[in-house]
Amino acid sequence: MIKKTKLLISALCSFMLMSQAVMADDTLDVESTAERLRVVMIDPDQAQLEALTASDLSYGHSSGKVDTQEVFVGNLMSGASNFVILNASEQTIKVVGDTAIVRHILTGETHSKGKEPARVSLKALQIWKKQGNDWKLLARQAVTLN
């Protein structure tokens, strides 16, 4: 009985350690993927933007406007959205199963078509969903930084 209990406890501890290692790996994967999206938003590439975002993306702007994946990618490719500088700071990542919650402060500079150059300073929430082996941006919402 004692041997079985020790084996059970040992197996449970091993499982918990492996679970923590997988979550740490997922956190690093999400961090890396979010960084790739930030970079490709400055120097847009349609294939990469589509690969990093879910087909049913809901991309919310601080103005309240919400874009689909098609509109989000199209605006970056056409220059309707043009980020010259884009920095994320104070980032936190929480992985819950196959979903990740990313929060950060986003600052930068835009030179979008038909608009005056502008500075942005926002708080952003991103929801990433694991699809197969890849993390895809499923939803994003930004609010003006006070």
In the chain the first and final C-alpha atoms are separated, in Å, by 61
pLDDT digits (tens, 9 = 90+) for 95-111: 999 999 999 999 999 98
pTM of the model: 0.82
Domains of the chain, residue spans: 2-144
Query: Which CATH entry fits the domain spanning 2-144: 3.10.450.50, 3.30.70.1280, 2.60.120.310, 3.20.20.480?
Result: 3.10.450.50
Query: What number of CA atoms fall less than 13 Å from residue 48's CA on the CB side?
Result: 15
Q: Which two tokens stand for residue 76?
A: 């970056």
* 67, 75 contact by CB (below 8 A): yes
CA distance 2 to 16: 21
pLDDT digits (tens, 9 = 90+) for 41-97: 999 999 999 999 999 999 999 999 999 999 999 999 999 999 999 999 999 999 999
